[in-house]
């Protein structure tokens, strides 16, 4: 008997009564298998029928309430910006690792407005002087993240349009907040910042505040790449918190403050600190196996900090990109040797690969930054303001043609299972496996 003809992605989505974005969510979560050819994705019709029947049984009239949906993800949020597919992160048709070579301001403005502006510059504007005074009044125990939170609050107080949800106004507020979150930090990399201008690249300004050494072009380039690669990624818990605030029509500043609150947690924004400390011990000469064993104990048997990302079973492309850039600096050799030693151990014992947290830990350690510098980079880069906007931006590609064929979905998606530990298993907010 001849095999049944396989279904295209469009036919499968129509059979299940879902959008293509939802179909690919099922694939990403292992609910449906697919084959990929030069012509696109195809699906086994018998498997599709079994899956459709299972969904119908779960949603049959009179069936007891289980708190589950009829086979679809409990929450699907569509975005016109990010797509994770086939182990790669794509921003509007362009691979994120390719965009990492572009200035952060250009990519960030594109993310916010849909327009590519090669001359984009970010300035904090009014309220910065008050932000610095408030930050200077903080106790000595305050960290950079505390100063960034102060900056957002001060900028909000100085903005007469803070309650406006006009897309252009929101985008402008976002840019001022990003610049203000950098400017409020004290300069530690030589000089007092008096000669600094708003025309200086944001990555250069941030490097002066995180690294104790004078910035080199390669150091600024890798920091810029990190900022770009962290702009958007799946539905992290901080993004969910920001979207919840936005759904209540919070101001753009309120949206960011909500996200920063969720970000301040060991299972999310602070994870790169643990990776930094792990690598520092190996660089200092400790046995990698002992260091890894201690990390597992400290994490109550959870993942080793900096390893594992369910969305990238073959390894996080963002981590590879940053580590490759770091390899160009001879001074980073001891840190990269520690990365390889720990990675080899985890790869052999658990099949785990480095994620973005390990790369941030390596970056900050190699450049002499404090162990919490990765948190500052993450907080500065992450864009949580698009949830506050009520209009879709037009899809404007930057220079170069989109990589993906037209028959594939142009819109990205984010998925989160709520209410059970499945969220953690899906990589929403566990160390080494969050959506970040």
Any idea where the domains of the chain sit in the sequence? 9-55, 97-188+198-218+232-264, 270-377
CB 219 within 8 A of CB 329: yes
Rounded mean pLDDT of 360-386?
88
Q: Give the SS3 label for residue 291.
A: helix
To the nearest 10°, report the CA torsion of 357, 196, 132, 176. -70
For residue 381 the two structure tokens come to 């880069």
Q: Which 8-state DSSP code applies to residue 331?
A: G
What pLDDT digit, counting tens, does each position of 380-415 carry?
997 555 444 433 333 344 444 333 333 333 333 333
pLDDT of residue 314: 87
pLDDT of residue 401: 39
pLDDT of residue 21: 87
Q: Report the C-alpha gap between 239 and 232 in whole angstroms.
A: 9
- CA dihedral (352, 357, 360, 365) positive or negative: negative
Residue 377 predicted with pLDDT over 70: yes
Q: Is 135 exposed, middle or buried (0-12, 13-18, 19+ CB in 10 A)?
A: buried
Pick the more confident residue, 129 or 67. 129
Residue 323 predicted with pLDDT over 70: yes
pLDDT of residue 67: 40
Q: Report the C-alpha gap between 305 and 273 in whole angstroms.
A: 9
Rounded mean pLDDT of 157-183?
94
Q: Report the C-alpha gap between 323 and 341 in whole angstroms.
A: 14
Q: Could you tell me which CATH class the domain 270-377 is placed in?
A: mainly alpha
Q: Residue 163 — very low, low, confident or very high, per pLDDT cuts 50/70/90?
A: very high
For residue 197 the two structure tokens come to 């201008």
Residue 420 predicted with pLDDT over 70: no
Q: Give the SS3 label for residue 95.
A: strand
User: Can you name the CATH fold of 97-188+198-218+232-264?
Assistant: Citrate Synthase; domain 1 (1.10.580)
- This prediction has a pTM of 0.74
Distances (CA, A) of 238 to 54, 141, 284: 33, 24, 34
> CB within 8 A of 117, min separation 6: which ones?
106, 109, 110
> CB within 8 A of 130, min separation 6: which ones?
154, 157, 158
Q: Report the C-alpha gap between 33 and 12 in whole angstroms.
A: 12
CB 171 within 8 A of CB 115: no
Q: Report the C-alpha gap between 130 and 123 in whole angstroms.
A: 15
Q: Give the SS3 label for residue 36.
A: strand
Rounded mean pLDDT of 326-333?
92
Neighbours of 297 (CB within 10 A): 9
For residue 321 the two structure tokens come to 């990109």
Q: Give the SS3 label for residue 307.
A: strand
pLDDT of residue 206: 96
Q: Residue 436 — very low, low, confident or very high, per pLDDT cuts 50/70/90?
A: low
Residue whose tokens read 């709520």: 418
Q: Report the C-alpha gap between 55 and 64 in whole angstroms.
A: 14
pLDDT of residue 352: 92
Strands 88-91 and 82-85: antiparallel
Residue 65 predicted with pLDDT over 50: no
């Amino acid at each position: 008997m001849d095999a049944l003809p396989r279904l295209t992605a469009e036919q499968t989505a129509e059979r299940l009564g879902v959008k293509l974005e939802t179909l690919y969510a099922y694939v990403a979560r292992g609910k449906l298998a697919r084959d990929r050819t030069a012509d696109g994705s195809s699906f086994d019709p018998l498997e599709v029928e079994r899956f459709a029947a299972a969904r119908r049984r779960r949603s049959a009239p009179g069936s007891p309430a289980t708190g589950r949906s009829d086979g679809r993800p409990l929450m699907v949020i569509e975005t016109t910006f990010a797509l994770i597919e086939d182990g790669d992160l794509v921003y509007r048709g362009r691979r994120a690792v390719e965009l990492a070579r572009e200035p952060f301001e250009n990519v960030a403005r594109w993310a916010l407005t849909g327009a590519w502006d090669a001359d984009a510059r970010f300035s904090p504007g009014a309220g910065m002087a008050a932000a610095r005074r408030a930050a200077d009044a903080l106790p000595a125990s305050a960290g950079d993240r505390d100063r960034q939170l102060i900056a957002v609050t001060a900028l909000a107080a100085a903005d007469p349009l803070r309650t406006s949800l006009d897309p252009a106004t929101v985008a402008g507020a976002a840019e001022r907040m990003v610049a203000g979150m950098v400017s409020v930090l004290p300069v530690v990399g030589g000089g007092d910042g008096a000669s600094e201008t708003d025309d200086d690249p944001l990555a250069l300004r941030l490097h002066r505040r995180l690294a104790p050494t004078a910035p080199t072009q390669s150091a600024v380039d890798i920091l810029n790449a990190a900022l770009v690669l962290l702009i958007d990624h799946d539905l992290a818990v901080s993004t969910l918190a920001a979207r919840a605030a936005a759904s209540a029509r919070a101001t753009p500043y309120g949206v960011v403050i909500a996200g920063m609150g969720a970000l301040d947690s060991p299972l999310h924004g602070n994870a790169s600190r643990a990776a930094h400390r792990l690598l520092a011990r190996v660089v200092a000469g400790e046995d990698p196996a002992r260091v890894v064993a201690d990390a597992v104990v400290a994490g109550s048997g959870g993942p080793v900090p900096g390893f594992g990302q369910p969305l990238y079973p073959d390894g996080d492309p963002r981590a590879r990109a940053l580590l490759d850039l770091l390899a160009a600096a001879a001074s980073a050799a001891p840190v990269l040797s520690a990365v390889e030693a720990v990675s080899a151990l985890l790869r052999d014992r658990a099949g785990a690969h480095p994620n973005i947290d390990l790369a941030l830990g390596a970056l900050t350690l190699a450049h002499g930054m404090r162990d919490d510098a990765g948190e500052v980079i993450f907080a500065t880069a992450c864009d949580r303001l698009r949830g506050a906007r009520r209009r879709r931006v037009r899809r404007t590609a930057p220079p170069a043609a989109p990589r993906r064929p037209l028959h594939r979905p142009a819109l990205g998606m984010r998925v989160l299972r709520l209410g059970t530990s499945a969220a953690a298993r899906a990589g929403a907010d566990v160390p080494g496996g969050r959506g970040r």
